[in-house]
Amino acid sequence: MKYARLTKEQFDELHPEFANFLATQSIDKKEWDEIKVNKPEVAEQELDVFSDLIWEGVLARAEYMEHFAKAYIFLFECTETQVHSIVLKAQDDTVDFLTKEGLQWLSDNMFTDNVEIKMGKKEFGDQRSESIFSLIQQGAFLSDGHLYKQIKTIIES
């Protein structure tokens, strides 16, 4: 398995896709039920292969990601070859970006010495999907990129 197995909730959401996946292997519901009972290791392999296929699709389409921590906000733009980052760091130890008040504080202090802003970029090499998955495992989530674009526009103007 290259990534991580989908959760039960994710499998439930993707039930039609999983049924199609099994159908491409000529496995109908009756046969799948038998495999789960009589060959659980084969069922596990099928779940893992399907999970990797889903992850590959999601990761290939990933463009923007965000990761919020107590004193930091990490914003990412994922191009074909690079990940660009904007990191916002609160210089005030009492600020918590995981709260509504912390985000209001950021809005009020964005262009003061209370917020450190760093921009960077890193080459993916041939590991784009793996690099994005690693960010997800560290707490990042896919986003529409609105916040990244907004901050980038403000910084560059």
Cα–Cα dist 88/71, whole Å:
8
Mean pLDDT over all residues of the chain? 93
Residues 85, 57, single domain; the answer is no
pLDDT of 32 > 90? The answer is: yes
Q: How many domains are contained in the chain?
A: 2
Instruction: Tell whether 98 is covered by a domain.
Output: yes
User: Where would I find the beta strands (DSSP E) of the chain?
Assistant: 64-68, 72-78, 82-90, 115-123, 141-143
pLDDT (tens digit, 9 = 90+) per residue, 48-68?
A: 999 999 999 999 999 999 999
Say what the pLDDT of residue 157 is. Answer: 79
Residues 130, 89, single domain; the answer is yes
Residues 76, 136, single domain; the answer is yes
| Strands lying side by side in the sheet with 64-68 | 115-123, 82-90, 72-78, 64-68, 141-143
Say what the pLDDT of residue 57 is. Answer: 94
Domain that holds residue 150: 64-156
Kindly state the percentage of the chain with pLDDT values over 90. Answer: 90
pLDDT (tens digit, 9 = 90+) per residue, 84-122?
A: 999 999 999 999 999 999 999 998 998 889 999 999 999
What single-letter DSSP state applies at residue 55? Answer: H
pLDDT of 154 > 90? The answer is: no
pLDDT (tens digit, 9 = 90+) per residue, 115-152?
A: 999 999 999 988 999 999 999 999 999 999 999 999 99
Residue 122, amino acid:
K
Cα–Cα dist 153/135, whole Å:
24
